[in-house]
Chains A and B, each alone.
Chain A
């Protein structure tokens, strides 16, 4: 089973509107972290926002917020007031903390392509 599922291959939004990118995850680990990254056409991955499994409040970073619903195992990214420069691929990723090796790595979803139109 996939650990990270992003069901929207592509999303369209008009400039200045808000958009929600979906992410669901699967883990039995009580301690984990959820990340969102942006990948513009240049290829570099840019960190946007982080949510820890024990965080009581939803994370926010400027125009980005994370709608964390732990019982539903969802961590949707909300971008408010979309800008043309927001057009990019967006990846959700999960870190599971209780590994036998003592190390922890990120597992990525397949991504959602967001296109912002004028």
Chain B
């Protein structure tokens, strides 16, 4: 079955550590996205990518980095510069940025 796979489901970060969240899709979608969700808040866009080797900052990109070396993969690195990384992270993809988004099951990141 086609879909979006996020791993791991739960992740813990020590202070000063960088961590990478994985997102893989086999839907042959061009566009991919990373959203952050905090309790009681909606989803906020971190980064998005329309094509391979190209990506744009969203509303809250500071402290995060991404790469898009393959169409299927869009990993997100939460750097030590992100001072409040505890949140639920959702990856999504779409045929184009004008189409509906398909989401993965999310990664809960917590700080030790």
Interface residues of A (CB under 8 A from B): 4, 33, 35, 37, 42-47, 50, 91, 93, 95, 97, 101, 103-111
Contacts and interface: CB of A to CB of B under 8 A. Distances in A.
Q: Interface majority SS on B: helix, strand, loop or mixed?
A: strand
B1 to A, nearest CB: 14
B88 A47 contact: no
A44 B48 contact: no
B45 interface: yes
B105 A44 contact: yes
Contacts of B44: 108
A4 B59 CA distance: 15
A63 B108 CA distance: 31
B75 interface: no
Contacts, number: 56
Interface string B82-112: 0000001010100001101111111010000
Given A45-B92, A104-B97, A105-B33, A110 B42 contact: yes
B102 A103 contact: no
Contacts of A103: 48, 50, 56, 97
A103 B56 CA distance: 10
A104 B104 contact: no
A105 B102 contact: no
Contacts of A46: 103
